[in-house]
Amino acid sequence: MDDQRTVKVRKNRCAHECSSTRRKKKVKNATKHWICEKVKDFLTDDATLKAKALQKKIKECYKVHIHYKRVYMGRILALNQLYGDLGRSFDNLYRLKAQIETCSPGSIVNIDHYTINGKIRFRRMFFALKPCLDGFLNGCRPYLAVDSTFLTGRFKGRLATPAVDGHNWLYPVCFGVFDSKTNDNWIWFMNRVRRAIGCPRGLAIHSDAGQAVMSGIGEVFPEAEKRECMFHLVNNFKKQHRGKVFDYHLWAAAYSCNPYLFEKHWHAMEKEKLAATNYLRQFHTRLWTRSQFSPFCKVDYVTNNLASV
């Protein structure tokens, strides 16, 4: 070089054994802490990225293949540093309850827990914001679509339940989080719904044919109109009876707005197969046709898809 002291090697024809040429497909030195630092930027842009996608991005950027489990652990570590530890977040539930009740007086937050070896463990939760309750009682039709959906995060569970506003849009009345669809959980949840909104005149409650949710609604809201989701009814019906007659007349019977049209479709199915209509009489006793809905509610949905959004 110009300084007469530095040598620059432009090409080395000798064989060499540095780590870059002996690198294996799986790199042991890429620890979960190293992965954590490398995936933080990706997770900042999109926190929903899964370990499989991050594994692919690391391979594209750093030309190394890292085992899925290690990427998964690095992802968890990065998410904890960016957004907080999900496990420890349960410790903040009562702080959340106090904050909601302070900032929104009249809101309802119920947290149920149990104790194992002297340690408190979360069981289920119910919350309803005061503006949502007031909006439902003063501005919405008396209709509730009750169902639960899977939580897809690290901690599994169930989430329920909305209503419909004057524009036929989804309107959140109250929510519940619990571990599974058991009789006890649904009765607990529906009891708190009743304490929050009472039982407005003409209330209609729409749900699927699940035994647990039916028991909860029947026990807590015996006077409410109980509707069954046609989508679930048809799926259960097809397990027992099939045919083009049912494909046409069953849905048509559900959409019939007057008893005459309903009876027309009902008799067509009965003529085709008496056992099919007997099955409906025996196992699907709740309301599923518009011709039997109360006109007071003024909601003619035959499915419970609103609660499944």
Which residues on neighbouring strands pair with residue 187, listed in sequence order? none
Which of 51-55, 166-170, 203-207, 276-280 has the weakest average pLDDT?
166-170
**Long-range pairs, 45-54, Cβ under 8 A, ≥24:** 47/79, 47/82, 47/83, 49/75, 50/75, 51/75
As a whole number, mean pLDDT of residues 77-102 equals 87
3-state secondary structure 32-93: HHHHHHHHHHHHHHCCCCCHHHHHHHHHHHHCCECCHHHHHHHHHHHHHHHHCCHHHHHHHH
Name the pLDDT band for 22 (thresholds 50, 70, 90): low
Query: Which pair of tokens denotes residue 59?
Result: 């391979």
Instruction: Provide CB contacts within 8 A for 309, sequence distance 6+.
Output: 162, 170
Which residue in the block uniquely carries the two structure tokens 């639960």?
A: 148
Evaluate if residue 213 carries a pLDDT over 90: no
Instruction: Provide CB contacts within 8 A for 270, sequence distance 6+.
Output: 276, 277
**For a pLDDT cut of 90, what percent of the chain falls above it?**
52
Name the pLDDT band for 112 (thresholds 50, 70, 90): very high
Name the pLDDT band for 227 (thresholds 50, 70, 90): very high
79 neighbors 43 (Cβ within 8 angstroms): yes
Name the pLDDT band for 167 (thresholds 50, 70, 90): confident
Which of 20-29, 166-175, 176-185 has the weakest average pLDDT?
20-29
Distance from C-alpha of 229 to C-alpha of 255, rounded to nearest angstrom: 12
**Integer Rg of the chain from CA:** 29
- The pLDDT of residue 214 is 86
Evaluate if residue 290 carries a pLDDT over 90: yes
Per the model's pLDDT, the better-predicted residue between 6 and 123 turns out to be: 123
Please state at what angle helix 68-83 crosses helix 32-45, rounded to 10 degrees: 60
Which of 8-22, 72-86, 158-172, 214-228 has the weakest average pLDDT?
8-22
- The pLDDT of residue 198 is 94
Which of 27-36, 67-76, 186-195 has the weakest average pLDDT?
27-36
Backbone angles phi, psi at 137, to 5 degrees: -70, -30
Mean per-residue pLDDT over the chain, rounded: 87
Q: In sequence order, what DSSP letters do the residues of 271-309 get, joined into one string? A: HH-HHHHHHHHHH--SB-SGGGS-TTT-----S-GGGG-
- The pLDDT of residue 20 is 55
- The pLDDT of residue 147 is 82
As a whole number, mean pLDDT of residues 36-51 equals 92
Which of 21-35, 117-131, 140-154 has the weakest average pLDDT?
21-35
Evaluate if residue 26 carries a pLDDT over 70: no
Evaluate if residue 19 carries a pLDDT over 70: no
SS3 state of residue 175: strand
Q: Model-level pTM?
A: 0.76
As a whole number, mean pLDDT of residues 109-116 equals 90
Evaluate if residue 132 carries a pLDDT over 90: yes
SS3 state of residue 14: coil
For the purposes of burial, counting CB atoms within 10 Å of the CB of 39, is it exposed (0-12), middle (13-18) or buried (19 or more)? Answer: buried
Which residues on neighbouring strands pair with residue 205, listed in sequence order? 144, 226
Name the pLDDT band for 250 (thresholds 50, 70, 90): very high
255 neighbors 302 (Cβ within 8 angstroms): yes
- The pLDDT of residue 304 is 83
Backbone angles phi, psi at 259, to 5 degrees: -60, -35
Query: Which pair of tokens denotes residue 277?
Result: 């209509």
Evaluate if residue 24 carries a pLDDT over 80: no
